[in-house]
Amino acid sequence: MIPLYRAQFNSEFNETKYQAYINYFNELFPNSVDFRIAETPLFLTAAFKTQLLEVGEYVCAQILATNFIAKTEKSLQNTRSTPNEKGLPNCIVMDFAIAHNAQNQIAPALIELQGFPSLFAFEVLQDEALRNSYSIPENMSPYLNGYTKEQYLHHLSRIIKGEQGEHTVLLELLPNQQKTRIDFYCTNHYLEIPIVCVTEIFKKGKELFYERDGVAIKINRIYNRIVADELKNQSVEIKEKAEILYTDLDVSWVTHPNHFFRISKYLLPYLHHHCIPKTQFVDQIQSIPTDLEKYILKPLFSFAGQGVIIDVQSDDFVSINDPANWIMQEKVNYAPCIVTPDGFAKAEIRLFYFWDKQTQKYIATLNLCRLSKGKMIGVNYNQTATWVGGSLAYFEK
């Protein structure tokens, strides 16, 4: 935290500025923000940014290791695999808690990662909205590794559309009903990528199409936003339509559905770093710890915090029917380090990593934040509090 900027922001804050911030989104995309936006961004030091990036470099090195595919093959055993998986994902996201470490120092703690897109386009708009409504210091940026808005959007365009600019669609399940739909609209706004529902696609041979104004348009590339868990809960008609995606298609994926399973909580037990809480597969636990208050249980492939058990009891292990699909993770001691008018808030930071063709490495580009005053961080769990919700971190340049 940077105390000077925190104090300055709080002293200058008023509800009029906050409403202007919210209205910035609604003027472009009316009624599209379906989650709480926090009143404030975070202001973080260059030293903390360095810590985050150091952990990120370690994680990326494990993903780029030659044994990565073999090591994560089991992640596909208990789920439905999609054909034509090629290489590694174009994008990765990593979630860090701002936590107290064993020495009671504030440090990042990696709690989750995913080979799946996030709010990549919305965060560009969020930076614009924050700067429009508040006084954000010029020496602070949400972008990483020297990126600017223009460089970031150029790289994001290459990630989603491919190097040749193939015809790409953002594919989602009932996109206009999703909580994250504003990101879809921003993706279309910045990159002119059409938004297509899985119910609209159809197949001719191995080629995939959708229809607009009576014209069949071929899909070359899928920017995949479908969460497998959500698909399981849909009607028979929708699930039958989605069967197309499990066939041999002449398309490329961003990211391939299999990557969601490989690069997720499944990878955490293989990571060993002082900023990564110790994690074990539940089916590999030799004996249940006596100090269960120090651990949490997570289903491997859940999304948005669903199914997580915070206050673990020994009976919870008995009730888990598929222990190979669960992990036990050391509980992170979140630091209540953000001063707000009605108490301290805690936060998580998600870093966006894009594949860089030139260096053949992943590079951190931008971020999002979530602020909380409760046990759970996700915006779904903080609907009635203030100075909580979705946000953005600004780092010293």
pLDDT, tens only, 169-189: 999 999 999 999 999 999 999
The single-letter code of the amino acid at 197 is: C
Q: Which string of b and e fits 189-215 if b means at least 16 CB within 10 Å?
A: bbbebbbbbbeebeeeeeebebeeeee
- Interacting residues of 335 by C-beta distance below 8 A, sequence separation 6+: 98, 99, 100, 106, 346
Average pLDDT, the chain: 94
> Residue 151 to residues 110, 350, 360: CA-CA distances in angstroms?
27, 19, 18
Closest alpha carbon to 146 in 363, 368, 392: 363
Residue 378 confidence (pLDDT)? 56
β 202-204/326-330 pair status = unpaired
Residue 301 confidence (pLDDT)? 77
Q: pTM for the full model?
A: 0.95
Render pLDDT for 148-172 as a digit per residue (tens, 0 to 9).
Answer: 999 999 999 999 999 888 999 999 9
What is the C-alpha separation between 66 and 81, in angstroms, rounded? 21
What is the C-alpha separation between 341 and 39, in angstroms, rounded? 11
What is the C-alpha separation between 145 and 315, in angstroms, rounded? 46
**Residues comprising the chain, all counted:** 397
Q: Are 35 and 365 in contact (CB under 8 A)?
A: no
Instruction: Say what percent of the chain tops pLDDT 70.
Output: 97
Residue 184 confidence (pLDDT)? 98
pLDDT beyond 60 at 279:
yes
**Which two three-digit tokens encode residue 330?**
């050391």
* Three-state SS at 376: coil
Residue 300 confidence (pLDDT)? 86
More confident residue, 307 or 296: 296
**Which two three-digit tokens encode residue 134?**
């508040």
What is the C-alpha separation between 264 and 270, in angstroms, rounded? 11
* Three-state SS at 258: helix
**Which two three-digit tokens encode residue 204?**
């001719």
What is the C-alpha separation between 382 and 29, in angstroms, rounded? 23
β 252-254/221-224 pair status = parallel
Render pLDDT for 112-149 as a digit per residue (tens, 0 to 9).
Answer: 999 999 999 999 999 999 999 999 999 999 999 999 99
**Which two three-digit tokens encode residue 369?**
């934040």
Render pLDDT for 210-258 as a digit per residue (tens, 0 to 9).
Answer: 999 999 999 999 999 999 888 888 999 999 999 999 999 999 999 999 9
* Three-state SS at 102: coil
